[in-house]
Chains A and B, each alone.
Chain A
Amino acid sequence: RKEVEQDPGPFNVPEGATVAFNCTYSNSASQSFFWYRQDCRKEPKLLMSVYSSGNEDGRFTAQLNRASQYISLLIRDSKLSDSATYLCVVNTGNYQLIWGAGTKLIIKP
């Protein structure tokens, strides 16, 4: 079983739609949680940290359920520029980032 599992994708959605990404992690000792965004042939960039209380940044909402070991990312009113691969990332407290395989999102006009 992979340490971090994500929806395999790709997701093809029309502009303006709401998109939800799901992620589960296997290590219950995980301490920090993140969503990264990676554009084609570019480096990953931090999109949001994820907190137990849930957090929102504009059109983006991230949530964490520690009991279920589940992380989500919601994108509302999706834009063409949101097209990218979204990576779920977990830190168990030793600085190592454990990465999901990513879910590719394609926003269509």
Chain B
Amino acid sequence: GAVVSQHPSWVICKSGTSVKIECRSLDFQATTMFWYRQFPKQSLMLMATSNEGSKATYEQGVEKDKFLINHASLTLSTLTVTSAHPEDSSFYICSALGGAYEQYFGPGTRLTVT
């Protein structure tokens, strides 16, 4: 149980285009999901907290107009990187909050912007 999927697992896009990443909780409902960014050999950096049916809460320094988050259902949250640039290239990981407050992570999405 407690499986979280992400799609796509990797994506390459051109500078200036937008990319959408999906995060799904497959066998449980999650009112809260988190989006992280991870640079090589570094720990997770929380970008935003996504709550079903309400606006996401962004961490300081994260541009909400650039990283659009939608949590339209109890099993799906999406992160859209708008007008992507090479500096947005990173490993993006989502997680879903389980019933005992533990986070279950997706496998991550490797974004490369050329």
Whether A and B are associated in the same complex: the answer reads no
